[in-house]
Structure 1
Amino acid sequence: KKPGYSRKVKWKKTRKPVYQPIVLFSCFYRREEESTGSCGVPANLVNEEPRTGLRSLKRSKSGKSLTQSLWLNNNVLNDLRDFNQVASQLLEHPENLAWIDLSFNDLTSIDPVLTTFFNLSVLYLHGNSIQHLGEVNKLAVLPRLRSLTLHGNPIEEEKGYRQYVLCTLSRITTFDFSGVTKADRTTAEVWKRMNIKPKKARIKQNTL
C-alpha cells in the first residue's frame, strides 16, 4: 500500500440486541421489615405495579403482562412458595418464562419449582445462601438453560465449584457472567474423571 494511506476496514453490520420487557419487582421488601418467619413470594404481588424496565411493558386484554422475564432480585425471599401461582396471575403465558432473576435474596436451596419452566434460558441465583453444591443437579432437566449465576453463595467456596457446575450442566454457555470456553469444558471433564466416580449398575438378583 502507498505510504500515508490507511487500509480501509469493512465493518460488519450487527443486529442491535433485543431487550424483552421485564416484570421487575426488585427491592420489593426492605430488610428492616423482614419478619422472623419464612419469607416467600407474596400472593398479593399481583396488586403491585412493577418497576419499568428498558422497554414499556405490554399487557394482554386480561391485563396480564406479555413478557418472558420475571425479576424478583434484591428482596429477602427464603423460599419460593406460591411462585407458580403468582407467575400465573402476573403473566399471560408463564410457561414461556425464559429469564428469572432471583439474585440477592436469602434462598438456601434451588427450589424444584424452577425446573418446571422448560423454556428457561437465563437464571440468576447469585448473592443467595445456597449451601450444597448438589443442588445444581436439579437444573440438569432444563433443556434450554444457557446462562446461570451462582457466585456469592456459600457453594462458591467449595473445591471444584466451577468444574462441578460445568460438567453437570453441559449446555450452559455463560456461567457467573463469564463465557464457557472449550478449555473450561476440557478442565471440567478431567476434574470429573478424577473426582466423581461413575455409579455402578445394580444387578438385580432373582429371588425364589
Structure 2
Amino acid sequence: MARSKPLDPEYSSRWVPSDFFRTFCWKEVFPTPQPVELELGAGDGSFLVQYASAHPQVNFFAVERLLGRVRKMDRKSHKAGCCNIRLLRVEASYLLNHLIPEASLQAIHLYFPDPWPKKKHHKNRLVNDHFANACHRLLATAGCVYLRTDHGDYFEQMEEVFAHKKGFEQTPTPAKLLAFKTDFEAHFNQRGIETQHACYLKKASSNMP
C-alpha cells in the first residue's frame, strides 16, 4: 500500500516551537491575532477541522501524542483549507504545565480521553485536581472547559473534580458545539453507546481552589 506523501511545509499546519522550555507567544504561532482555543488529544481531527472551518474568527491549537494522528490531522486541515489551525506532537500534561501562557485561552476541549478503566490505573487519568487548576490558570475570564466521555465512572470523576473548584461554574454545553462530533463520538453514536458531556466556565475575579 502506497504511503501518503508529506505535505509541503508551506501548507502544513504542524508547528514546532524553537524552544520547548519557553512559554509560547501566540503571535509567533498564528499569523492572525485572534482568540485561541485548545484541543487536547485531538485524535484524527474530525472535530477540530469541522469546528475550525466553521469558526474562522478563532485560532485552534491541537495536540496529539501519536505522530500518525498528527499527520492525519495535517492532511485534513490542508484539504479543508483551514488557516487557523496549528498542530503539535506533545504530551498534554507538559503542554499545560510549561508551554501555554496564563489567561490566554478562550476554551479548552478534551473529548474522550483514555479512561484508564482499571482502578489501579486511575492515577493516570488526565482530569484530576491538578488538571482543573491548570485549566483555571490558562483560561481567560469566562473561558470554558468542555469535556466529553463515554465512560460513566470517569465522567463522575470529572464532575467531582470541578464541583470542588470555586473558580468554575458548571453551565450547559452549547447545542451548536455538540453538533460537531469526534471520530470516537460518531462511532459510539452508531453503536448506540451513550456519551456524556459537561462545560465549566471560569468565573470572574475567582481564586482557586
Please indicate the TM-score interval, normalised by the length of the shorter structure: 0.3 to 0.5
- Which is bigger in relative contact order (C-alpha 8 A, separation at least 6)? 2
TM-score scaled by length of structure 2: 0.32
TM-score scaled by length of structure 1: 0.33
